[in-house]
Amino acid sequence: MTLRLNRGPSRTVLLDVDGTLCDNTPRLIEYVKAECGVALTREQITEWSFSIPGTELDIGDLLHRAIDERPEWFLLGMEPIDGAAEAARWLSQQGHTVRIATHRPAESHPITAQWLDEHDVPHDEIIDDVPRNKGRLAGDILIDDYHVNVKNALAAGKAAGLFVQPYSDPAVCGEAVVAETWSTMLAELGRIHPVTNGD
Ligand SMILES: [Mg+2]
């Protein structure tokens, strides 16, 4: 099912944060270097169980540790993904409800709220406790960068959009809109750019 969001009715849009609104990978790479002395590249992180060479830790463990130990440094230092703030604004302007659906621990939500405000990302709510299966959340469409979440949303009868990342697998997200940028994602969901006069 493809959803068009450029016309009514009002929908509830579930938006992921990491890898969808903000680019968490550079900070994570910096943290892994500081903690383990290992220099990773973005392309190496092809799954969240990726083991850090020479350690018994995987990248998912390190991600949770960074949020636990240095939440402000880790989360506030992330850059927004190009077009993310504009996308959330457009969704709000179309009359949709924007619910933030992240698997970050609930204790870190005030920091996420601060980040969203600092980067002008409008939202109606940060969902407190997001179940492993995001398909269980109330909403009409999930936009996320992790194929498992998108697959769960589709299985629950929602529409979905998947951002391509080294760790995401579009092959299991058959009916989802698959995009590399917010510009493409929103064009697929019905945003039409106004014609300009070239100025
Ligand atoms: Mg994500």
Q: Which domains are seen in the chain, by residue range?
A: 12-23+79-188 (3.40.50.1000), 25-76 (no CATH)
69-125: pLDDT as tens digits: 999 999 999 999 999 999 999 999 999 999 999 999 999 999 999 999 999 999 999
Long-range CB contacts (within 8 A, 24+) of 50-55: none
The model's pTM: 0.93
Query: Which residues carry out catalysis?
Result: 16, 18
As a whole number, mean pLDDT of residues 123-137 equals 97
156-177: pLDDT as tens digits: 999 999 999 988 999 999 899 9
CA distance 158 to 1: 8
User: Which residues have C-beta within 8 Å of that of residue 181, sequence separation ≥ 6?
Assistant: 82, 83
Q: To 10 degrees, the CA torsion angle through 90, 138, 46, 176?
A: -70
57-70: pLDDT as tens digits: 888 889 999 999 99
How far is ligand 1, taken at its centre, from the CA of residue 59, in Å?
14
Residues around the ion ligand 1 (C-beta < 5 A): 16, 18-19, 145
**Reported confidence tier of residue 183, pLDDT bands at 50, 70, 90:** very high
% of residues, the chain, pLDDT over 70: 96
- Lookup: tokens for 145: 């960068």
Check whether the bond before 9 is cis (ω within 30° of 0): yes
How far is ligand 1, taken at its centre, from the CA of residue 139, in Å?
17
Whose tokens are 């109330």? That residue is 138
How far is ligand 1, taken at its centre, from the CA of residue 19, in Å?
5
Q: Is residue 111 a contact partner of residue 71, using CB atoms and an 8 Å limit?
A: yes
pLDDT of residue 7: 80
As a whole number, mean pLDDT of residues 11-40 equals 94
pLDDT of residue 163: 97
Amino acid identity for residue 62 in this structure: L
CA distance 4 to 62: 38
How far is ligand 1, taken at its centre, from the CA of residue 44, in Å?
17
Asked whether the predicted pLDDT for residue 30 surpasses 90, the reply is: yes
pLDDT of residue 199: 47
How far is ligand 1, taken at its centre, from the CA of residue 197, in Å?
37
What are the beta bridge partners of residue 163? 179
